[in-house]
Amino acid sequence: MVSLEMLKEHETVRTAPVSEAEALVDVRGLSLWYGKKQALYDISVRFPRNQVTAIIGPSGCGKSTLLRSLNRMNDLVPGVRVEGEVLYEGVNIYDPRVDPVAVRRHIGMVFQKPNPFPKTIFENVAFGLRLMGVKGSELEDRVVEALKRAALWNEVQDRFKKESGLRLSGGQQQRLCIARAIAVEPPLLLMDEPTSALDPIATQAIEDLIQELKTRYTVVIVTHNMQQAARVSDRTLFMHLGVLVEEGPTEVLFTKPKHPYTEAYITGRFG
């Protein structure tokens, strides 16, 4: 069986590494602890602009933790400690002078289970815009624009100001959450297993949407579904036990994995 000691001895295997110029986010030597338990071990990786990067790996491998380190959502967990840097457009978001709230306003996030606010569809999408002080007709235009871009507009245009977001179906709720996240035009969109609570048809709709989104946004998606990673992403990271084992273009990682653990995982021998 794979042990942590064995993994930590190896360097991350990289295929066609991303250059500094291509990277929107540059993670350098990131380690993270929840209390005394270490969850991430010295992770270095770059996320290229306008591409979809998938993070895969077995449960508890740290993929969600890594994702939540990119917008400092982990700060909300009591007793969390971080070492290393996450450069976003060249700025280390863990610099003590950086306000985590400002970081989150630049980076959108979509969660595992759809979590709309108990407000109308309009107010859901308007929430982030209102925080930024957008008002009046501009607010309305941008809400409609976000609903269109999230491919939800046609289904809700006759009722989006009256109906609660909670009344939508699961798949629609998740697209509403995507609309809410992209309404503020975040350059980076983080998705934490966004289809794990959805049926295959709703999943298909979200996957199509991700392809659309990457023309405007940089997307990082965590998924436990390897077929999904293969379908939607340009690059893939494989993590195990808090270690980044291998990263590279998705087709390489899935067809010619270099690390024996990556191969074992994608061929279904563990995980």
> Which residues would be at the binding site for other proteins (CB under 8 A)?
71, 73, 76, 78, 101-106, 108-109, 111, 113, 115-119, 127-128, 131, 166, 177, 180-181, 184
Instruction: Compute the distance between CA of residue 213 and CA of residue 149 in angstroms, rounded to an integer.
Output: 8
72 in Cβ contact with 152 (< 8 Å) = no
DSSP 8-class letter at 99 = -
Write the CA distances from 89 to 22, 24, 66, 81, 106, integer angstroms.
Answer: 10, 6, 18, 23, 11
By beta-carbon proximity to other proteins, the closer residue of 183 and 210 is 183
If the CB atoms of residues 100 and 249 are measured against other proteins, the closer one turns out to be: 100
Distance CA 94, CA 104 (A): 12
Residue closer to other proteins (CB basis): 167 or 269: 167
Whichever of 48 and 100 has its CB closer to other proteins, that residue is 100
**3-class secondary structure, 22:** coil
Residue 144 class from Cβ within 10 Å (0-12 exposed, 13-18 middle, 19+ buried)? middle
| CA distance linking residue 27 with residue 58, whole number of Å | 21
Q: What amino acid occupies position 267? A: T
**Among candidates 231, 179, 171, 225, which has minimal Cα distance to 203?**
171
115 or 211, CB closer to other proteins? 115
Looking at the Cβ atoms of 127 and 153, the one nearer to other proteins is 127
Answer whether 80's CB lies under 8 Å from 33's CB.
yes
